Amino acid sequence: MAAPLARTAGPPDARRGPAGPGGATQLRRSQRRAAALLITPFFVLFGAVMVAPIGYALWMSLFQERSSGLGFGGTRRVFAGLANYTAALSDPGFRASFAHIALYCALYIPVMIGGSLALALLVDSALARAKRFFQLALFLPHAIPGLIASIIWIYLYTPGLSPVLDWISAAGGSWDFYANDHVLLSMVNLSAWQWTGYNMVIFYAALQAVPREVIEAAVVDGAGALRTALRIKIPMIASAIVMTVLFTCVGAIQLFTEPKLLNQRGAPSIDTEWSPTLFIWKAGFVQHDYGLAAAASLLLAALGVALSFVVTWIGNRWKAAV
Amino acid sequence: MTRTSRSFRFAATAAVAALGLLVTACGGSGGSTGAASDGKPVTIEYWTWTLGAKSTVDAFNRTHKDIKVKFTEIPSGTEGYSKLSNAVQAGNAPDVATIEYQMVPEFASQGNLIDLTKYAGETVKTKFPKPVQSLVTFGGRTWTVPYDVAPQLLYYRTDLFKKYGIAVPKTWDEFRTAAEKVRKQDKNVRLASFPKNDPALLAALAWQAGGKWFGTQGDAWKTGVNDTATKKVAAYWDGLVKDGLVQTFTGYSPEETKARAQGSTLAFLGASWSAGGMKTALPDLKGKWAAAPMPNWGTPAVGNYGGTSYGVLKGSEHAQAAAEFITWLTTDKAGVEARLADLASPSSALPANADMRKVAAARFDTSYFNGQDLYALASQQADTIVPGWTWGPDQMDVYTAIQDTTAKSGFTAGVEAGEHKAESGIESRGLKLAE
C-alpha cells in the first residue's frame, strides 16, 4: 500500500511544471478520483456516526426543558448556556463516578495487564508446550459477548443461585461477592476474565516480532529466561503495552454493563450513577434531562481524549527511556 | 499537498451530499403514515408488557376492519419507560402504550402524552370510579384511560402455613410474630422476602399506612415522601430486615422465584395482578397457594400496588383510532375476555370498571388457587384503597433515589433521599413547589 502511494506522490515541481507529460497528469487525475471515491465511504460514516451526533449533543447540551406550575401545560426549551455543564460538574454523583473508575483502574490495570503479560511471556518462552492450545484457550473468554459474560458471572456471584457460594459454605466458609468491600474485586475479576486473554494475544503477537537474534545474543551473554523476559522482551514490546493500557483506560471510563448489572442484582455500593456512563444513562433516560446527559457525555468524551494524550505521552517517554 | 487537499475536499463534499441524502431519507419515511384516512385501515402501534396482550390484539384485529393494531412487547419498569420516552424524543413512538398510574403525571408533564380529554374524557368520567379518575386526570385534562386497580394482597402457601403452625396474619404486628415463629423453626426458611429494589412496593405500603408522597395545592406540588406514615412503614421493614426475619432477595429475580419454588419463602406481598404469572413461574405448586388481604395497621385499609392505564403518545398521527382501541381494551367485554383468554399466563388484573370486573371474574380460571374466588377478594379489597394518593411528576427519579440509598443504608434513609430528590427534581424542572 505504501509503495504505490509514495510513487504517485512524486516530486511536486514535476507535477506543476509545464514540461510534464500530459499522460501522467491524466493518470494522476483518475487516480485522484479513485482515491477520493475510496475514502468517501469513510467520511460519510465518520460524519454520520461521529461528527453529526457530537454536533447534535453539543447543541442539546446548551438547552434545558422547563415547565411551570404543576407542569401539565407542556414543556418549553430554553437556552441555558453552560448551565448543564456546571450542573454536571457540580453534581457529587458525577464527580464520585470518576473516583470510582479511578479506583477500579488502579486495581484492574495492574491485574489485567500484568496477568496477560505474564501469560504471553510464558507462552512465548521455550518451555511452553502446546502454544496454540493455550493461545486459543486463553482467548476463548473474550469470544463470549461481554453482556453474556457479565450475566454468567453475576449468576455465580448471587447467593441462592451460585454453586460457587454453595461450595464455599459447604466448606465452612462464607463470602459475599456483593459486599461493599468485595464488589469492586468481583467487578475486576469479571473484566479481567474477559480481557486478559485478548491482551495476551496482542502481547504474544508482539513478542513474535522480537528478532530471535537479539534473544539468542542475550542467551549467549548468559541471561536467563527471566532476565531475557524482563530486560529484552518487555522493552521490545513497549509499544504494544502502551497501546493496550491506552485501550484499557478508554474502555474503563466507559464501563457500563458490569456496574449496571451489579446494580440490578442489588450490590449495595454500586448505585445507579456509579460510573460516568451510568450517570449519563440515568440523566437521559430516568430523569429525561437530555441537556444534562449531553453535557456529561461531552465532558466524558473530553476526558477520554485527554486521557489518550496523557497515556500516549507517558508511553512515548517510557519507550524512549528503555 | 494540493492533490491531497483537493481530493479531501471532493470526498468531504461527497460525504456531505450523501449525508444530506441520508437525512432526507430519514425525514421522508416519517410522513408516509399519515395517508390512511381514506377508507384504508389505519395501522396503530401498541407497546406493552402486560399479560395477555397478544391474545387481546389478535381479538381486536379479528373484529376490526378499519383499525389494525401492531403489537410489540417491551420490558416493564424503568427500562420500558426509558424506551418509551426515548422513542417520543426520537419521533418514532408507538401510538398506544401501557402507562402505570405511578408514571402518568411524569409522562404527562414531560409532554410525552397526548391530551385524551377530547377522545376519552367522557368515557373516563362515566365509567370509572372517582378515586381512579383522579389517577389519570391532571390539570383538568384526561391523560390516560384506566384499566385496573391493584389492591395489595398477601399470597401464601397453605400447606406450609399449616406445617409451621401459623395463621394468616391480619395486622403487621401479627405478621412480625409469624415471621419470628417461622424463623425459630427453620433458620433457612422465612415468612417472606422484602426486596430493597422495589420502591413501588414500599410506596404501596406507605399508601396503605396513610402516607401521601405527593399532592397538589393550587398550581404547586406538595411532597411527603418522608411523611410520618411512610417513616413508620420504612422503620418497620428496616426492623424486620435487621432482625433477619425476612429475606431480601432482589425483586422479580430468579433467586426470589427459586426460594418460593423451594418453599424457603412462605408468602409474598403482591397485588391482584400477581396471580396471573404464578401459573407459569411456579407450575408445580398448583393448589398450594391462596391469597388473603394484606396485613394492616389495625384498620382495614390497602394501597394500590401498580395498576395500569393506557395512553396515546406524542407524535401519534392516529390519536382518534388509538383512543378507540384503548376504549375497547378497557371498557369492552370482548377486550377484557381476550385478555384472560391467554392460556399460559392469563391476566388476573382487576378491572376498575365495575361491568368489566364481572366479565373478568367470570372468565378467570381459579384452579391454581384451589377454586378460591380471587376476584371477589380483590374487589372487596379494592373498596378499602385509601383515597387521596397522588403520584409525582418525577416519580422514576424518586424511585431511583430511594432504591440507591436503601441498598446502602436501609428504607428509612431511602425515603429521606426520596424526599430530597422529589423536591430537587420538581424545582430543577421549573415546576412550582409548595412551601
Comparison of pLDDT for A130 and B406, the residue scoring more: B406
For an interface test with B, the pick among A5, A70, A147, A180 (most B C-beta atoms closer than 10 Å) comes out as: A70
pLDDT per residue as tens digits for the range B135-145: 999 989 999 99
Indicate yes or no: CB of A285 within 8 angstroms of CB of B393. Answer: no
Phi-psi region of A288 (alpha: psi -120 to 50; beta: other; left: phi over 0): left
Q: Which range (B39-43, B118-122, B380-384) has the least confidence?
A: B39-43
What residue in B sits closest to A156 (Cα-Cα)? B255
Per-residue pLDDT at B319: 95
Predicted complex ipTM: 0.81
Work out the pLDDT band at B35, boundaries 50, 70, 90.
very low
Q: B401, exposed or middle or buried, with CB in 10 Å at 0-12, 13-18, 19+?
A: buried
Q: Do domains B40-148+306-367 and B152-303+394-428 have the same CATH topology?
A: yes
**Residues of chain B contacting A290 with CB distance shorter than 8 Å:** 89
Residues B67-106 pLDDT 10s: 999 999 999 988 899 999 999 988 999 999 999 999 999 9
Q: Give me the pLDDT at residue A24, please.
A: 53
Is A160 within 8 Å of B258 when comparing Cβ atoms?
Answer: yes
What value does the mean pLDDT take over residues B308-331? Answer: 96
- pLDDT value, residue A316: 85
**Separation between Cα atoms, residue B153 and residue B295, nearest integer Å:** 9
pLDDT < 70 stretches in chain A: 1-27, 126-128, 322
Q: How many other CB atoms sit within 10 Å of the CB of residue A20?
A: 14
How many Cα atoms within 13 Å fall on the side-chain side of residue A61? 20
Cβ contacts of B429 on chain A, cutoff 8 Å: 65-67, 71
Question: Are the beta carbons of B433 and B423 closer than 8 angstroms?
Answer: yes
* Beta strands at B148-149 and B67-73: parallel, antiparallel or unpaired: unpaired
Q: Taking residues B104-109, what's their average pLDDT?
A: 94
Helix (H) or strand (E) holding B220: strand B220-223
φ/ψ of B148, rounded to 5, equals: -120, 165
Rounded to 5°, angle at Cα A278 from B253 and B84: 70
Per-residue pLDDT of B348-379, as tens digits, reads: 999 999 999 999 999 898 999 999 999 999 99
Q: Taking Cα atoms as reference points, which of A86, A53, A63, A47 lies closest to residue A296?
A: A86
Q: What is the pLDDT of residues A251-281, one digit of tens each?
A: 999 999 999 999 988 888 899 999 999 999 9
Higher pLDDT, B431 or A321: B431
Do residue A9 and residue B3 have CB atoms under 8 angstroms apart? yes
Asked whether the beta carbons of residue B258 and residue A161 sit closer than 8 angstroms, the reply is yes
Q: What is the mean pLDDT of chain B?
A: 90
B109 and A36 in contact by Cβ < 8 A? Answer: no
Distance of CA B155 to the CA centre of its chain: 19
Query: 10 Å Cβ neighbour count for B259?
Result: 21
Instruction: State how far the Cα of B418 lies from the Cα of B429, in Å rounded to an integer.
Output: 17
How far is the alpha carbon of A280 from chain B, nearest alpha carbon, in Å?
Answer: 13
CA A126 to chain CA centroid, nearest Å: 32
Model confidence pLDDT, tens digit, residues B263-277: 999 999 999 999 988
Which of A39, A74, A160 has its CB closest to that of B111? A74
Rounded to an integer, what distance in angstroms lies between the CA atom of residue A160 and that of residue B273? 26
State residue A270's pLDDT score: 92
Q: What pLDDT sits at residue B10?
A: 45
pLDDT of residue B343: 72
Pick the CATH number of B40-148+306-367 from 3.40.50.150, 3.40.30.10, 3.40.190.10, 3.30.365.10: 3.40.190.10
Q: Provide the CA B340 distance to its chain's centre, in angstroms.
A: 18
Q: What is the amino acid identity at position A318?
A: W
pLDDT at residue number B3: 42
Helix (H) or strand (E) holding B311: strand B308-312
Q: How far apart are CA B10 and CA B14, in angstroms?
A: 6
| Mutation target vs B (from A54, A286, A290; most B CBs, 10 A cutoff) | A286
- Residue-level pLDDT at A19: 46
Q: Which of A31, A72, A260 to mutate to test the interface with B (most CBs of B within 10 A)?
A: A72
Q: Which fold has domain B152-303+394-428?
A: D-Maltodextrin-Binding Protein; domain 2 (3.40.190)
Domain spans in chain B, listed from the N-terminal domain onward:
40-148+306-367, 152-303+394-428
Torsion angle, alpha carbons of A129, A132, A133, A134, to 10: 70
- Kindly report, residue by residue over B390-405, the tens digit of the pLDDT: 999 999 999 999 999 9
- The nearest CA of chain B is from the CA of A255 a distance in Å of 19
Share of chain B above pLDDT 70, in %: 91
Mean pLDDT over B224-249 rounds to 97
Q: What is the pLDDT of residues B291-306, one digit of tens each?
A: 999 999 999 999 999 9
User: Is the CB of residue B357 less than 8 Å from the CB of residue B350?
Assistant: yes
Per the CB < 8 A criterion, the answer to whether B260 and B277 are in contact is no
Give strand pairing partners of B247: B193
| Chain A neighbors of B258, CB-CB under 8 A | 160-161
Which residues of chain B neighbour A33 with C-beta distances below 8 Å?
A: 7, 10
Angle at A94 between CA A192 and CA B105, to 5 degrees: 115
Bridge-based pairing of strands B144-146 and B308-312 is: antiparallel
- pLDDT at site B12: 46
- What is the least distance, in Å, from the CA of B136 to any CA of chain A? 12
Which residue ranges make up each domain of chain A?
Answer: 92-321
In this prediction, residues B115-125 reach a mean pLDDT of 95
> What is the CATH topology of the domain spanning A92-321?
MetI-like fold (1.10.3720)
* Sign for the pseudo-dihedral over CA of B329, B331, B332, B334: positive
CA distances from A21 to A12, A31, A33, A34, B3 (A): 14, 16, 19, 21, 17
Contact between A39 and B82 using a beta-carbon 8 Å cutoff: no
pLDDT in tens, A214-259: 988 998 998 888 888 888 899 999 989 998 998 899 899 999 999 9
Chain A interface mutation, best of B255, B408, B426, highest count of A Cβ atoms under 10 Å: B255
